[in-house]
Structure 1
């Protein structure tokens, strides 16, 4: 059973537009997947102290200072994502394979002199896919009485509906903006959209006494629940680097990062339900079902700076260590979302009556709820150490820390959104460990292996508190991911001019998924896997 770990209130004085996000949207966009050149991926991303690879400008910018010649490379491949979901003993599987364009970049290396303090001044650019959102997910099973309709009913009760007139006023509100549109009129600011849709499709009912005072607000008993989602898009990262080499022992770098975010979600939740209604000595047996469809799109851009250094403390030793600091990423984002709900209700075995509610009928001219906001991703710190053994083996190990709980969500006027409190209470500091090895098999061919571990970003009992953080959203589902691991392998060829690398990555983690928020609803146990095959082609001259 989940323990309530946050208790935030939304008052009637708080406009609905002021609470349009949750910690789950922030977490979705804070991910930083292992991706880039095949050499970088093949070593598990552990190259921050070794440098001399295009992808290092996104982890430690000083790595580009290691270059002594020009370099151009492009990477592409395939991603296969798999999810296995176990809900109350009912197991479902989803599998999706997509081609991907993962990286393109170059370094222009300028030699200053052999005996000057400044030996090389280098410029670089690199694009890579920071996050890949492409995934399908499906879960189905018995609800054993838990129901999304009870979440809707609780939200109606907490919104302050105490009289029959008030409740019926919500049901009778019109779709015309000038006629108390329930999704825009100030009378309903305290009512979450999900709850309104439920009440207006017959999924939430109320009883009241002879004076018109509500005595009970209730939903239904859930029989089975079925959830499907399809996610698409990603975060594209564009890095511009300046780095330099001091006496072949001290390397410094600066990277300006630009980000392009594009995310699309379609989800569908269906539920069958029943209830027994007592009227005096007569019991009525009601049956019903409903389907909730959601469409959500996020677009935006971001910017950050990365500073790094690599130092060889001993002149005649290949040992070196690296330090890097990444400023927060400042995102400016726009969300568009809408939803449609249909229900079929049969009272005491009578012919079912159908209801429907479509948010696109209430928002003009875009037909979506549109929300502009900003998001600040936390500082990131990286320390690394590496060396060359016998001139044929390169080793690197590193640690990275990012305090997810310090992320912030703000409206366009700069005021923090309520969800920032949820972020600070439920998200955690994330620890990342990476280790990689590259060894020469011949003068031309190399073998690589790597390992990447990232700790869980969220507390185990976190939940989506729609009333407090995102009451204009109608997505009730949420997923709490656990620690994430990746194992990588790679092969490389180096010629006088041309080089080619190939890498394989197996990325896996478990998570707890909930179709909606109910303390009686057990978690769907999900295993997430991604197989990536990556090829890099390059020229150094």
Structure 2
């Protein structure tokens, strides 16, 4: 029977659309986590090259290598989330370990001395672009109830539509509504079935007005989020050195998205006249996607001291699939517990996401073998994000929200490295503007880094520590009638270890 329900779920989502601006932005914000040397300088490598992660900023960086090279990187991230929700404060800490990077670049000197092309390079690399592991808890006392979520979806719907027929199961009607009406009507059905809301006239099948069974007053609420997964990309790189002062390169990238998220919302009340005293609403989201992008870049030696770099990264064109599972439970002091648990996996129609393109200009000062200072400036226009579908799903509303709420941003990375014998000491700073016009939704992001490396000759070992902080408003149910949110301060400590080898 379970297989039958899964099959119904696949059919039922053919006209369902629940993606919003949060989803679009989440998959458009990709950052190269990179090698320890790269992170120790906060990623300011656009005019430098000579590092396997640098080719993700400027593909010409592979042509700077003098010999073939490979590296592998392990990273540990500790995330601290401090959530404030009305009078409540909670702090959660989580540590996650991943392979950030694995790759090699093969260098071929041109044996034809008369040619302007002095060297060719071929790079193959895997880079993690996002660690989706996240966890936080928020709790507090509010005067707004979750009933507004279900009421907003139900108003205007005929009672007959969200009421089960004789012999009809919860699974049957939930699947039918997804197929014919969409995600919002499914939410109205959940609320009605679990007695959160009721019809003004329960004896009239044409009734379109609804009231809450939760009395007004104060509500103790808790919202728990746990997400897992990671995003990454695989790169094929080609580069060349032209004469003695120009390097050029190109990347062809394939991307993947793996994101799983579970949210649990709890609400309790002792309000006089309330027929429902507790609500537990659980939502599970699973996202998988694949995409393609390309990059082009060049680095010029203007003088012995100055290098300039320029690069362009195309939009990433993703195909994304999502599925959800929902469960709603209520408790009444007088009537006991009601559980609505549709045994249905909602499979959303595959949709397309176009992320912003990126332009980067870079400059570096090279002080012989003693050290260097490097600066990158990148530009991205988040209003260019676009969702579309080959399955007839209309994303006009979401795309309009993107144009209204988002903006173009500047990203600045500054790094330095100084050498003493076989040792290298590094430091860096990064700044990224908020993609939202209202930076209270998501603040600017600041990052700081330090690191060191030791060159053993054939082998190299590098270590980096970097720290970032950012604040966001975490809306519990974006785009719904229940507008409550927590303010979350996120602090990340990253420890990165890279082992490299010349060959």
Taking the aligned partners of 1:181 and 1:501, their CA distance within structure 2 comes to: 54
Match of residue 6 from structure 2: none
Rounded Cα–Cα distance in structure 1 between residues aligned with 2:318 and 2:277: 43
Per-residue CA shift, 1:448-471, capped at 9, x if unaligned? Answer: 001111111224389xxxxxxxxx
1:185 and 1:531 map into 2 onto residues whose CA distance is 45
**Range with bigger deviation, 39-48 or 22-31:** 22-31
Relative to structure 1, is the Cα distance of residues 308 and 180 closer, same or farther in structure 2, using a 3 angstrom cutoff?
Answer: closer
SS of alignment partner, residue 359 of structure 1: coil
Judge conservation of contact 2:83–2:91 (CA < 8 Å) in 1.
Answer: yes
Residue 318 of structure 2 is matched in structure 1 by: 331
In the TM superposition, 1:1-40 aligns within 5 A as: 17-40=15-38
User: Does 1:183 pair with 2:170?
Assistant: no
Tell me, what secondary structure is at the counterpart of 2:361? Answer: strand
Say which SS state the counterpart of residue 28 (structure 1) adopts: helix
Q: What is the rounded CA distance, in whole Å, between the counterparts of 2:336 and 2:45 in structure 1?
A: 63
Distance 1:99 1:423, change over 3 A: same
Indicate which of 440, 447, 454 corresponds to 2:425. Answer: 447
For residues 239 and 97 of structure 1, the distance between their equivalents in structure 2, rounded to whole angstroms, comes to: 28
Query: What's the CA shift for 1:368?
Result: 3.7
Question: TM-score, normalised on structure 2?
Answer: 0.89
Corresponding residue of 1:435: 414
Q: 2:148 & 2:388 partners in 1: Cα distance?
A: 31
Q: CA deviation at 1:523?
A: 4.3
Q: 1:210 to 1:306 in 2, by over 3 A?
A: closer
Match of 2:338 in 1: 355
CA change 1:214–1:90 in 2 (3 A) is: same
1:482 alignment counterpart = 443
Q: How does 1:188-207 map to 2 (within 5 A)?
A: 188-189=181-182, 191-207=184-200
Partner Cα separation in structure 2 for residue 483 and residue 122 of structure 1: 37
Question: Is 1:320 aligned with 2:314?
Answer: no
> What TM-score do the two structures reach when normalised by structure 1?
0.83
Q: 2:162 aligns with which of 156, 170, 179?
A: 170
5+ residue gaps, structure 2, are 1-12
Q: Quick check: 1:228 aligned with 2:224? A: yes
Q: How far apart in 1 are the matches of 2:33 and 2:203? A: 65
Aligned match of 1:6: none
Q: What displacement does 1:432 show? A: 0.8
Q: CA RMSD in A?
A: 2.5
Instruction: Indicate if the aligned counterparts of 2:32 and 2:128 stay in contact, CA closer than 8 A.
Output: no
SS of the equivalent of 1:331 reads strand
Q: Match for 1:403 among 372, 381, 386? A: 381
Deviations 1:33-73 (A, max 9, x none): 35111100000000110111111111110111111111011
8 Å CA contact retained: 1:170, 1:182: no
d(CA) in 2 for partners of 1:209 and 1:197?
A: 16
What residue number does 1:371 align with? 349
Q: Which SS does the other structure have where 2:38 is aligned?
A: helix
Please state whether the residue corresponding to 1:75 is helix, strand or coil: strand
Q: Please report how far the alpha carbon of residue 190 of structure 1 lies from its aligned counterpart in structure 2 after TM superposition.
A: 8.0
Bigger drift between 412-421 and 107-116 goes to 412-421
Provide the C-alpha distance between the structure 2 equivalents of 1:484 and 1:117, rounded to a whole number of angstroms: 43
Contact kept in structure 2, 1:336 and 1:371, CA below 8 Å: no
Q: Which residue of 1 aligns with 2:5?
A: none
Q: Deviations over 1:330-352 (max 9, x none)?
A: 11121111111111124xxxx23
SS at match of 1:198: helix
Cα deviation code 1:222-255 (max 9, x no counterpart): 5111011111001121111000011121111000
Between the aligned partners of 1:389 and 1:538, the Cα distance in structure 2 is: 24
Unpaired stretches in structure 1, ≥5 consecutive residues: 1-14, 277-283, 463-479
Q: CA deviation at 1:416?
A: 5.3
Supply the distance in 1 between the matched residues of 2:177 and 2:366 (Cα, whole angstroms): 63
Cα distance in 1 for partners of 2:338, 2:170 equals 19
- 2:99 match: 101
Distance 1:202 1:176, change over 3 A: closer
| Contact map agreement 1:96 1:135 (CA 8 A) in 2 | yes
Matches for 1:48-127 after TM superposition, within 5 Å: 48-113=46-111, 116-127=115-126
Q: CA offset at residue 520 of structure 1?
A: 8.9
How far off is 1:532 after superposition?
A: 1.0
Between the aligned partners of 1:214 and 1:447, the Cα distance in structure 2 is 69
